[in-house]
Structure 1
Amino acid sequence: MEKIKDIIPDYNDGDFLCPKRGAKLASLFGLDRAESQGNESFQFTAPKQPKKSCAILGPPPQKPVALPCAPAVLFATAVHAFSFVNGQYVKQGKIGAAVLGNHVTKEYKILLYGSKQKQITTARIHCGFVLTVHPCNYVTFYDDQQQNWSLMFDSEKSKPEFCKKVCVARWNSEDSSDSLVTQDLVQGEGQAVDIGDTVEVAYFGWLLQNHSLGQLFDSNLGKEKLQ
């Protein structure tokens, strides 16, 4: 990291966790109109019935149209955020970082937000979206305004979970189901692997269920011989 300048004080982690913990954060995401556990709910308002005198001359009444469901919060956590300004990363304080998704419309995004229901920025997640993993629990990406952001996670578990959600969102954003999408979760150590090298791999395999990682179906971790 380059020179860092403090400009905003930190907040408590509880201010940024999943909306199921409080209605204020749910309101920020529009989840007061939908479930916050990854489920979609459709709502519509039935149009007013025309008066009989106008019904004869006017157009036929239209059927109610279902409105698109609100995005669900797939993952949310507190992070230390830095924006790249004038050649250096400037600290923006402790904020919230969430992965939002709408499985019906296939729209996904990263949302950075303050503890007072203040949206800071968004980044649309698509198949070509790049989330770069760095040492010391850092990740970087560009938002929708091409502003570079660096996030540092307090927990070693929250960063790979965040990266998993982004990876699955990238896959879900595509119409075809035969795409191969990869995403680093932790930066490796040691000599880089090159074309022609032979490696041993420890792996986990999960089924993709309900647009997210589901049942673990295979793993060779702990076996005498790796793949």
Structure 2
Amino acid sequence: MTERYAIYYAPASNDPLWRLGCEWLGRDPAAGVIDHRPPGIEAAELDSLTVSARRYGFHATMKAPMILAPGTDRAELEQALADFTRNHTAFDVGQPVLRLIDGFLALVLDPQPHRLTDFAGTCVTVFERFRAPMAADDRASRVSKGLSERQVALLDQYGYPYVLEQFRFHMTLSDRLPEAWKAPLTDLATDWFAPILMKPLQIDRLALFHQPEAGAAFTRLADFPLPSAHEL
């Protein structure tokens, strides 16, 4: 079975950031319906620059997509997510900014709060028991992309190289861009996301996403809100 589950941060479905992100990518992993697209670029042109990002959906990775380990199932994972979020509070992380990362356009945090790095690391370790071992060909493909020695070690331990101190929060808005599109698409995204770029972002939930088979689009299955500090 090749279905995979991922634990992401994603804004609430009624959050303006979620709407803007989904309309930018041309797909809503929760509702599926998109009525509006960014002005200044043909939808087909934008779609051609966001193929992979659209398939994964608008999100920031906390626990990378994984095949479930033998002996575990979705119900157990959802219960573990409910237990986990019940014992962690929501927190602000500052204002997101647009950056090009290795040719990809993304919303990031600069600086990235230590609390967020620690929280993401806890997600990786706590939910590691649900991850099936990585296939040898998947590992070889990852290693071939020029990982550092530390990143290879993290890949072997957690199935993903960009975790713990290597983690960088990002909400991907494109695939790797041709040089000619880097500046124009950044300008378009700056205008499109302007309403939210001046507002602080709050990590207030984790969302469970699901990919039914290799190459399929991820869907948003369920949200697990983090309580505010006064609710604990």
TM range (shorter): under 0.3
Question: Relative contact order, CA 8 A, sep 6+: which one is greater?
Answer: 2
TM-score scaled by length of structure 1 = 0.18
Q: Kindly name which structure, 1 or 2, has the bigger radius of gyration based on alpha carbons.
A: 1
The answer to which structure has the higher strand fraction is 1
